[in-house]
Each structure stands twice: as C-alpha cells, then as structure tokens.
Homo-oligomer: A and B are copies of this chain.
C-alpha cells in the first residue's frame, strides 16, 4: 500500500486501560498509528514505560513522548506533590483534574498529525472516566474538532483532521470486553494515580476503583498487580 493510500492516525497513549483499547481499536480498523504520550510532569511516570510497551505490542508505527513542564504550575494532585491524591470519591470536579490537560494533549496531537499527515486523532476519553472532568465530555471533543478545522494548514488547504473518541459512550466493562476480544493484555496497562515504581496499583484511588469495578462488571479476571495485596 502506498503512503498516500494509508490511513494514518495519531493516537494519544497514556499507558492506561482506555488509551490502550483505543490503540487496539484503531489498529483493528486498519489504521497506521503514531502513538503519542505527553509527559506533563505527572507523578505516575511509570505510565510512560507502560505506554512504550503497549505501542510496541499493539503495533504502532512509532511512539513519541513530548515533555511539557507544566508541573511547575502545580494546580492538580497529579502534578503537585503538595496535593494528596484522594482515596475516596469527593464529588464535583476532583483535585486530580489537571487544568486544560486534554486541550494541551489534543493540541500537541494536532501539530504532530499535521506533520505526519494523519487524518485522525484518537483519544480515550469516556463517560465513566469523566468523573467530573470537563474536558472528557462529547461537546468538548466536538469543539476541539471544530477548532482543528480552523487551526491547521490541512484544514485550510484540504480536509480537516477528525477527532475520534471511540470510548466516549462506553462503560468501563464494555471497554474491557472489547479490548479483551481484540487481545489487549491489560496486565501491561497502568491506571492508578499512585502506582509504585514497578507499576503496581494502590487499588483505592478513583482510577483504581473504576478499573476494578469494570473488570468485575465485565466478568473478566483483573490482571492488575496491587502493591498491597490485602486490599
């Protein structure tokens, strides 16, 4: 297949369960995938190692990490060591919300998409993971897609880059069932906000709770390694 006939996508890959499923879906759809991880100073850098493994195992063409020293601004439990990651749901928009995180990640993906001539950007936001995050809603994705059409050379000279959020309406259990059917090894993924250096999960934070409940609801054995097995 020539380069021109290829369908290319930039896939945002955090190393977590959702974005791994997005990459597997895009590959199953025949897309040539350029995986992008953004290191914005998050505490769970072990996710980036997971992302690199997943990109390779799931057949991405390449994997890049863009570093953004956004952590200097603090403002979130995920980037500011002075804010504790909550162990229980708190209601409202949680302190793990990173200001403008998905806007920043999509903006970087947009720039790279234009360079590699990708026609699509894929991101793993979904309604369950929403948890009160404003930038995980379908209307946010639609607004970014509209912006992308105005922001880029291809939007002006050719066809605008599309933004796909294939998980946006799926439950965590649906996502897991779909990924298992595609052969995704979720043991390679890291979702925990407080994972240790080996990538083992706390089992208690919001991300762990959603993930555990997802495996139970899907009827799939949870392959996650927890650092406190008693939990």
Chain A residues near B (Cβ < 8 Å): 64, 66-70, 72-75, 92-93, 97-104, 106-108, 110-112, 114-115, 134-135, 137, 139-140, 143-144, 146-148, 150-153, 155-157
Contacts and interface: CB of A to CB of B under 8 A. Distances in A.
A74 B112 CA distance: 9
Contacts of A70: 66, 108, 111
20 contacts: A66-B72, A68-B68, A92-B157, A99-B110, A99-B111, A99-B115, A100-B114, A100-B152, A103-B107, A103-B148, A103-B151, A134-B151, A134-B153, A134-B156, A140-B147, A143-B143, A143-B147, A143-B150, A144-B147, A146-B147
A104 B108 contact: yes
Contacts of A157: 92-93
Nearest to A72: B64
A73 B111 contact: yes
A151 B102 contact: yes
Nearest to A106: B107
Contact of A147 (B112, B147, B155): B147
B75 A114 contact: yes
A103 B110 contact: yes
Contacts of A100: 107-108, 110-111, 114, 151-152
